[in-house]
Structure 1
Amino acid sequence: MRVAILLCLLFIRNGEGLDLVQDTEASGYSMQVHQLHSEDGYILIMHRIPYGKDETKTGPVVRQKPPVLLMHGIMGSSADFVNQGPKSKFAFVVADAGFDVWLGNARGNPYSRAHSILDPDNSSADFFNFSWEEVAIYDVRAMVDYILGATSSPQIRYIGDAEGGTWFLILNILKPEYNKKFQMAQLLDPVGYTKYFPSEELKLVADMIEPLYTYAQELGIAEISSLNIQENVTEIRVTGQVALQSIVSYIASLGGYRSMGTSLKQLVHLAQNIRDQSFRSWNYGEKINKQIYGAKSPARYDLSQVTVYTVLYYRKNNIFVHENDVKEMALNIKNAIAIEINGTYSEIDFVDIARTTIE
């Protein structure tokens, strides 16, 4: 009975919060749903809040608003900024501050769990064979271009939460021409350097995940989310899923999040960087690294390639990001500053962040 209850908790797909349009309109805001395609075939959904609450009450104000893309973290979705997670209602705060708010959804979460060819259920290994770089150079890039086209704006602003900031940095490093498409960026608890990674407990978890990834590949497990267990799965497959999902749920709970779905490979990429105290590309192992990178070790991400004015926010009590790592990242970005946020992020902090963006 106890095992059955655990399986139900871990693997029943969570539908709460998926109807963001209804939730948003109930809060007095209007929301649009936009569908776009990445260059490599993923079908992505963006949610848009074009007006603040007072404007929707009296009718839209016809004027150009600065567009801003809000990007969730590795296990999140656009719902994080509306009705879930530690940054709940942030999208409303930014909309009320005078922005045209676009909420992105990276491949693999419930809103962007589709592809023009690949089936996420029947072709899981192929569909979920992606990490940071694919999300950055395909998904975020497609979203930026779509917003610029839809708004006819010359630039957008960007707010990234945790790995949402990582994807921004990687995009501008690997596709430096995109630097000119951003007016500025604000990264909340940005994940990158790990030299001073603060949690010894999570370091141990990081050491565990990569061997589990190899095991998961043998079992055909590539996705982390609230999955439905197929009736014909073997006992060993269920055991593997429970082990992986338990780790993911544990990590998510530490940050106050709920895993909305992504590739296991993304989490393993993070684990590699924590273990190796390095901010770099996916590590295939020495043999394949030599073929792909021309060296035994993966290529390091060169933050000096980022020229966008960037504000990196950090908290001293964050178990995922150390202030010294954030400060060092800011030093290596040509036009960046690091700002401490006292305590946990709150609506007051968000208002201050929105005002900073306006200025």
Structure 2
Amino acid sequence: MGIKLVFLFLSFFATGKLVISLSLTSAYDKLSEDGKLNFTGIAAKYGYAYEQYEITTEDGYILTMFRIPGDADKPVLLVHGNTVTSDCYIIRGNESLALTLARKGYDVWTINLRGTRYSRSHVTLDPDTQPDQFFNYSFYELAIYDMPVTIDFILQETGQSELIAFGHSMGTTLFYVLGSEKPEYNDKIKLCISLAPICFLEHITGLASTPAKFAAELNLLGIATDTQELLSYSVTTPILQALCLQPTGYAVCIQGVLFYLFGYDSAGLEEEFMYTLFGHFPGGTTRKIFDHLGQVYNRNVFAKYDYGTAGNLIAYNSTEPPEFDLSKVKMKSVLIVGQEDFLARDADVQRLNASLPNVAEYLVLPYENFNHVDFIWGNNMTNNFYPYVFEVLENYT
């Protein structure tokens, strides 16, 4: 018996990598065509021209931006949230927000924030050999470095002085930080449409509330294990394909996890879409971003990253991190929330609404099951979301 166990043990180490590789390959084969295509591949499949650019931030990160050309007088910037990429705006094909805007004649631009699937490069830093330096950023750096170079590049290419912006989830957070820290950019945004706005997090519910409460402890665990990058596309996405693209995958991964995180809407995220989704999700993030969001939740203030008393004295000359001054965010804003959203809760967004000086409209979508990800992945956006979006665009631009 002992000899058999030793044989099995040795056999595992000899063949384990091959078995895992075969399993991941088999899972990848189950993806839909759109699940296997990247952003530009999906655009081409549905008959749209595209352009791809690389832009470099002030602190050296190389960002990939995709464009679906339209009327250069009507540039629109789409900014994705945490753990996803610009793919989130196109993986619904013809019903996606990117292609719907393109059909309406808008000049559509989508950015991929630093460290994610398409923007994992730097002029000097290597994310694989220098992760401590490469992934040392929270949403603050995304806002003050990634956003300005993106906006300026689009305005230069189109010859415009302002653009329309969409943000989803943490993608909205970046505009509040940008408007506060670099107020000159308020004048470069004609209208900012915030989908599932994330600023204050006091009332979040569902599965995310537990790790948020213990964000400090989880961050210490990440430091102890030298973990900087989280949910990377190259590592995590194939694993999720192997786990979730199984007969029980929808019940386990979607109904048992994603709905507990984002809100329940089986009509919005149906089983068939899973075979596209897990070709693109997740797209990568950092431990520090999650820690910063956890600080916002636990301190109940929208402030810069908390380095602790000693670190704050060095960074801010103060024992507490400074709060962002939302009164400086003077860009015209529209806030749109879903009734079943576990993360962008109405009570928290109402607090944001009261803090911003130029909110043109606050809209709660009437579809009662509209959750956090229905804004980007929803199955019926054409009926329960887009009519309100294009009414807003018509009214305020």
Shorter-chain TM-score: which interval?
0.7 to 0.9
Which of 45, 48, 60 in structure 2 is aligned with 1:26?
Answer: 45
Alignment TM-score, normalising by the size of structure 1: 0.82
CA apart distance, 1:220: 2.1
Q: Is the 8 A contact 2:206 2:260 kept in 1?
A: no
1:239-258, aligned counterparts within 5 Å?
254-255=261-262, 258=281
- Quote the Cα distance in structure 1 between the aligned partners of 2:48 and 2:234: 33
Q: Which residue in the other structure is 2:266 paired with?
A: none
| 1:263 and 2:286 are equivalent in the alignment | yes
User: Any idea what the Cα deviations from partners look like across 1:151-186, whole Å, max 9, x if unmatched?
Assistant: 001101100000100001101110011111111100
1:305-344, aligned counterparts within 5 Å?
305-336=328-359, 337-343=361-367, 344=370
Q: Which runs of 5+ in 2 are unaligned?
A: 1-11, 236-252, 263-268, 270-276, 375-380
- Quote the Cα distance in structure 1 between the aligned partners of 2:222 and 2:320: 24
- Quote the Cα distance in structure 2 between the aligned partners of 1:16 and 1:309: 36
User: Any idea what the Cα deviations from partners look like across 1:271-294, whole Å, max 9, x if unmatched?
Assistant: 111122221111111221133223
Q: 1:253 to 1:319 in 2, by over 3 A?
A: closer
1:88-237, aligned counterparts within 5 Å?
89-195=96-202, 197-199=203-205, 201-226=207-232
Alignment TM-score, normalising by the size of structure 2: 0.75
Q: Is the 8 A contact 1:17 1:23 kept in 2?
A: no
How many pairs were matched up?
A: 325
Q: Is the 8 A contact 2:131 2:228 kept in 1?
A: yes
Worse-matched range after superposition: 114-123 or 320-329: 320-329
- Quote the Cα distance in structure 1 between the aligned partners of 2:306 and 2:328: 21
Q: 1:208 to 1:101 in 2, by over 3 A?
A: same
Q: 1:250 to 1:208 in 2, by over 3 A?
A: farther
CA apart distance, 1:227: 6.3
CA apart distance, 1:259: 2.0
SS at the partner of 1:260? coil
- Quote the Cα distance in structure 2 between the aligned partners of 1:179 and 1:350: 25
Query: Which residue identity does 1:219 align to in structure 2?
Result: T
Q: Which residue in the other structure is 2:55 paired with?
A: 36
Supply the RMSD in Å over aligned alpha carbons: 2.9
Q: Which residue in the other structure is 1:347 paired with?
A: 382
User: Any idea what the Cα deviations from partners look like across 1:217-275, whole Å, max 9, x if unmatched?
Assistant: 2322100124667xxxxxxxxxxxxxxxx9xx957973377321011211111111112
- Give the percent of matched residue pairs that are identical in Structure 1 and Structure 2: 28
Q: Which runs of 5+ in 1 are unaligned?
A: 52-62, 230-245
SS at the partner of 1:110? coil
CA apart distance, 1:351: 4.0
Worse-matched range after superposition: 344-353 or 134-143: 344-353
| 1:83 and 2:107 are equivalent in the alignment | no
- Quote the Cα distance in structure 2 between the aligned partners of 1:199 and 1:6: 35
- Quote the Cα distance in structure 2 between the aligned partners of 1:250 and 1:200: 10
Q: Is the 8 A contact 1:285 1:296 kept in 2?
A: yes
User: Any idea what the Cα deviations from partners look like across 1:30-58, whole Å, max 9, x if unmatched?
Assistant: 1111111011100001110113xxxxxxx
Worse-matched range after superposition: 346-355 or 68-77: 346-355
Q: 1:179 to 1:79 in 2, by over 3 A?
A: same
Query: Which residue identity does 1:42 align to in structure 2?
Result: Y
Query: Which residue identity does 2:294 align to in structure 1?
Result: A
